[in-house]
Structure formats: structure tokens, C-alpha cells
Amino acid sequence: MKMEAMSLSGLDNTKLEALAHDIYSDLVEDACLGLCFEVHRAVKQGYFFLDETDQDSMKDFEIVDQPGVDIFGQVYNQWKNKECVCPNCSRSIAASRFAPHLEKCLGMGRNSSRIANRRIASSNNMSKSESDQEDNDDINDNDWSYGSEKKAKKRKSDKVFLRSLKQPVLLNPNSPRRSKSLKHKNGELNNNVNTDPYKYNYNSGISYETLGPEELRSLLTTQCGVISEHTKKMCTRSLRCPQHTDEQRRTVRVFLPGPSASTLPDVDAVVESDGYDVSDGQALMNRLQWDGSSDISPSDSASSKASTNNSDSKKPKKKKKPSLGLSSSGTGGTGGGTGGGPGTAGSGSSSQGVLSLPSRKKKPKLPAPPTPSIYDDMN
Amino acid sequence: MSKDLQMRAAINQKLIEMGERERLKELLRAKLIECGWKDQLKAHCKDVIKEKGLEHVTVEDLVAEITPKGRGIHRSNLKILVPVLVVHHSYMVSGCVEASLLQQINYYDNIITLLQLSSFISDPH
């Protein structure tokens, strides 16, 4: 042991170093040898020179080392500065943004429909949330529309400006746009107030004056619609919104000419008539009485079935309020008020119709008696 | 001299037994590839082969040509660093392969025991 210690102490740093160095050299030599064997085998097996076959092609694909160019010789942002002219809107768009712009511009592609749907949904919600300031507290309760309301709020500021621009257009109930959308909506089951993404019928808070009959109707079939005293706007919350009672909703639907079905669960279904404005004392009738009438049945056949009870009471009222241009697709609960302008049944009401179908069968005759009384009240 | 040789042999043997030699070897190989030593040497091989003719290359030729170069490349790497790193055990910089390997070996605790052993072997002297 002592000898060990002595010999250990005899080993100073340099010696240790030298030893380590020797070990290291051995290892390096082993590595070299390994490489030699590898190369030799490659040569004898014939695969050593495989990666250098053709001088010409080697020159073609040589690595490029110039500034502004990648190693393949391609310029990186060659198309960045180029601008293309959009064939749809005739704007000049940057090349890298051209494809998404086109997608939105043409309204095709997955995203565009999603955006359009969202806009529509949020326009519904916006009118709800805007109509009553007090509602904001309860917004969190409204699970269905919370998400879209959030989005709607964000975009509200954007859209407010647009809305002010667009309002003049919307005010005209007989504008060609409106009738167009009417035609398209025939027979359609839609909860959408507006399927045209460019129309920007996106009201934060809907004032009933600006709405055409068609839209009012469809609005009322899907939304609460109660008119707030503060803002004179219709509540855009769901049909079962806790802020307003059914009575209020009924009142609104009576007040505004020819609105759609009420929210009452026992509401009878609304009969759809296809955008025939007109006459529709009979059309109104159809909505009121939906004995055996399907959602999409033509108003004519429905009217033939409908009783004539309400037609007389309705007609005078129609004349009274032509401006409102709402058609009543009233059911027992609401009793559509006067069918002031075109009395088109809200196609949106069809959804109502579907919902109340079962109740329909249960209480077919109920609508008739109550409605006249309501009219009396209004009168 | 023979003592040193014996010591070296003993150490080597011990390293092999412990499997540390393999580990160090793999480590060295990886580092050599990383720093491009292997590619440089391979290019040199190519030259040698082209010089000698593809058919007639032998292992011995290659070894004779390559090995000194292989070690020499390292020496050149090392020469720059040695004055800086010197004898001190505690250099942190191991940019050079050799230095890092040496570091590994030096910090190897068991080398002490190896040396102990070897000195024990050479004790009778």
C-alpha cells in the first residue's frame, strides 16, 4: 500500500496528462483504422464513387451561394411584390393574399360560408343584445348565443359604421334587393334573416321601422322581438328570452303588422305562404289557422281551408298600416295584427311551424276564438 | 519506460473491461464526424485512390497514408488550443475534439484507481 501511495504521489499532473494523451492517441488511431477499412471496402465493393457520377449534372445542381438567392438559386420573395387584379372586385391585391381574398370575394370556399353564417347568427344576437341595455347582465345566461354574441360585440364597432351607410337601402321595403331575397327564400326553411353576406343587414339592435315585412316576420319567428322602451328596438334574444314575457311578445306581434308566430310553446304553427304580399287576408288567415296546412303549403290551398272569421277583421287593419309592411303569420297567441304592407308569411316561421306541429294537432281550434279578441283589444 | 508501458497496458485493459473504452471510442467517433474530420479524411482517401488506381488499393496503403494525416489534422487543431488550454485540468472549453476527449479521460475518476492498480503492478520495482 505504501508503495502505491508513493508511486501515486510520484505521478504528477504531467504524467497524468501524458497518460491521458496516450489513451487518446490510441483511440484516434482506432478511428483512423476504422475509416480505412470502411473506405477500402467501399472501393472494393464498388460503391465508393457512387455519389460522383456525372460532372455535368453535378455542376447543374451545385450549391448556390449568392446573396438574395437560396441554395437552389431561387429568389425567395419573387412574388411578394407582385400585385394581381381581382376579377371580381377589381382591386389590386398582393400576390400572397390573393387566394384568400378571392375566396372571400367570390363567396366560395369553406371559410366564406362559415363567416356568412356567423354573421347572420350574430346579427340576430346583436339585435337582441342591443335592444335592451339591461339585458347585458343576463347575457352570460344565454348559453346559446353567448359565443356569437361575443363575436358580434367585437364586430359591432366595425359594423356600426357600415350600418349607418346601409340604412337608407334597408329602409326601402320594396327595393329590388328585398324582393330578390324574398324569391329565394320561398319554401326555404331558414332562420336567417339575410343570407346575402354583402347586404350587411347587420343591425345592432333592430328597429322595426327599418325592416321590411319579410325580415320582420322572419325576425319575429326566431327572436323575441319585444320592443324596448328605451331604445325603441326589438329584442334580439331568443324566443324564450327571460327579459320579456310572452305577453309582451304577443303584443309586439300584434302591434307590428303581420308578424310571425309567437313564442308560446303552445303556439300553433304558422303556415307559410310563398312571398305573396298582397291580399292575404287569406294569407293571414292561413297562418292563423293551420288546420291541416303544412308548412310549405301554398297560401291558396291554405286559404281555402281557413275560416273566414278573421279575414274581415284583418282587412281593415291592413289598410291602416301599410308602411309597416309586415305580414302576419300569427297564430292563436299573437294574432297577427294588421297586415300592413305585403303580407308575406315569414319563411322563418316554418321553423315555428315545425316546432308547434304536435301542438297543432292537439289544439286545432283554439286559435280561432282568441284572435278576434286580441284584435279587439288592439282596436 | 517499461513501467510506463506496463502501466499503459494495464490501464487499457482496465478500460476495456469496464466498457469505458467503447464509450470513449463512440464519443470520439461522433465528435470527429461532427467537426468534419471524417469527411476531410475521406476526401484525402479519394485522392490517394485516384492516384493509386481504383483496382489496386490495399488496406495497408490507405492506412499508411491516412493515419498520420488523421492524427496530424488533429494536431493542427490542437496546436492552436494547447497553449491556451495547457495543462490545467479545469478548462471548460473543449472546442477541439482532442481536448474534449482528454478532458473526458482526465476527469475519469477511475483512472486513479487504474493508476493505483498499475502502480501496484509495478510495485515490485
A156-207 pLDDT per residue, tens:
555 555 555 554 444 444 444 444 444 444 444 444 444 444 444 444 556 6
Q: Residue A313: its pLDDT value, please? A: 46
Residue B120 burial by Cβ neighbours in a 10 Å radius (0-12, 13-18, 19+): middle
Residues of B within 8 A of A29 (CB-CB) are 67, 70-71
Average pLDDT, chain B: 70
On whether any CB of chain A is under 8 Å from the CB of B25, the answer is yes
Grade residue A93 by pLDDT with cuts at 50, 70 and 90: confident
Q: What residues in chain A have their Cβ under 8 A from chain B's Cβ atoms?
A: 3-4, 7-8, 11, 13-14, 16-17, 19-37, 39-40, 43, 48-49
On whether any CB of chain A is under 8 Å from the CB of B119, the answer is yes
A345 grid coordinates? 308569411
Q: Which SS3 state, helix, strand or coil, does residue A318 take? A: helix
Lowest mean pLDDT among A43-57, A341-355, A360-374, B35-49: A341-355
Residue A69 DSSP code:
B
Mean pLDDT of A265-270: 44
Residue type, A29: E
Higher pLDDT, A18 or A131: A18
3-state helix, strand, coil in chain A (%, to 5): 55, 5, 45
Q: Residue A236: its pLDDT value, please? A: 83
Interface test with A, best of B115, B118, B125 (most A CBs within 10 A): B115
Residue A167: Cβ within 10 Å count? 14
Grade residue A378 by pLDDT with cuts at 50, 70 and 90: low
- Which of A4, A14, A23 is the closest to B116 by Cβ? A4
Residue A94 DSSP code:
E
Checking if the pLDDT of B46 tops 70, the result is yes
Grade residue B17 by pLDDT with cuts at 50, 70 and 90: confident
Nearest CA in chain B to A8: B116
Q: List, in order, residues 6 or more apart from A273 with CB less than 8 Å away.
A: A280, A283, A286, A287, A298, A299, A302, A327, A329, A343, A344, A345
Rounded CA separation A299/A302 (Å): 5
On whether any CB of chain A is under 8 Å from the CB of B81, the answer is no
Checking if the pLDDT of A3 tops 80, the result is no
Q: Residue A178: its pLDDT value, please? A: 45
On whether any CB of chain A is under 8 Å from the CB of B109, the answer is no
Selection from A156-170, A285-299, B54-68, B74-88 with the highest mean pLDDT:
B54-68
Grade residue B50 by pLDDT with cuts at 50, 70 and 90: confident
**Strand partners for A227:** A234
- Which of A4, A28, A29 is the closest to B123 by Cβ? A4
Half-sphere exposure of B28 (CA within 13 A, CB side): 28
Grade residue A256 by pLDDT with cuts at 50, 70 and 90: confident
CA distance B93 to chain A (A): 17
Residues of A within 8 A of B7 (CB-CB) are 19
Checking if the pLDDT of A230 tops 80, the result is no
Checking if the pLDDT of B21 tops 70, the result is yes
Residues of A within 8 A of B119 (CB-CB) are 3-4, 7-8, 11
CA distance A149 to chain B (A): 58
Grade residue A211 by pLDDT with cuts at 50, 70 and 90: low
H or E stretch at A371 = helix A370-378
**Distance from the Cα of residue A309 to its chain's centroid:** 42
Q: List, in order, residues 6 or more apart from A358 with CB less than 8 Å away.
A: none
| Phi, psi (rounded to 5 degrees) for B64 | -60, -35
Taking a C-beta distance cutoff of 8 angstroms, is the pair A189, A211 a contact? no
Is the Cβ pair A33, B29 closer than 8 Å? no
**Distance from the Cα of residue A115 to its chain's centroid:** 5
Rounded CA separation B18/A218 (Å): 86
Q: Residue A52: its pLDDT value, please? A: 75
Residue B116 DSSP code:
H
Q: Residue A184: its pLDDT value, please? A: 47
Q: Residue A349: its pLDDT value, please? A: 44
Residues of A within 8 A of B54 (CB-CB) are 43, 49
**Distance from the Cα of residue B27 to its chain's centroid:** 11
Q: Residue A153: its pLDDT value, please? A: 53
On whether any CB of chain A is under 8 Å from the CB of B71, the answer is yes
Grade residue A222 by pLDDT with cuts at 50, 70 and 90: confident
ipTM, interface predicted TM-score of the complex: 0.71
Residue A356: Cβ within 10 Å count? 26
Rounded CA separation B104/B95 (Å): 13
Taking a C-beta distance cutoff of 8 angstroms, is the pair A240, A144 a contact? no
CA distance B39 to chain A (A): 10
Grade residue B109 by pLDDT with cuts at 50, 70 and 90: low
From the list A139, A307, A11, the residue with the least C-alpha distance to B118 is A11
Q: Residue A229: its pLDDT value, please? A: 78
Nearest CA in chain A to B103: A20
Average pLDDT, chain A: 62
Is the Cβ pair B66, A32 closer than 8 Å? yes
Nearest CA in chain A to B29: A31
Q: Residue B70: its pLDDT value, please? A: 76
H or E stretch at B68 = helix B59-85
Residue B6 burial by Cβ neighbours in a 10 Å radius (0-12, 13-18, 19+): middle
Selection from A143-157, A232-246, B94-108 with the highest mean pLDDT:
A232-246
Higher pLDDT, B113 or A307: B113
Q: Residue B124: its pLDDT value, please? A: 46
Say how many Å lie between the first and final Cα of chain A, rounded: 123
**pTM for this predicted structure:** 0.35
Q: Which SS3 state, helix, strand or coil, does residue A235 take? A: coil
Checking if the pLDDT of A209 tops 60, the result is yes
What DSSP string runs through A157-212? HHHHHHHHHHHHHHH-TT-HHHHHHHHHHTT-----S---TTS----SSB-GGGS-
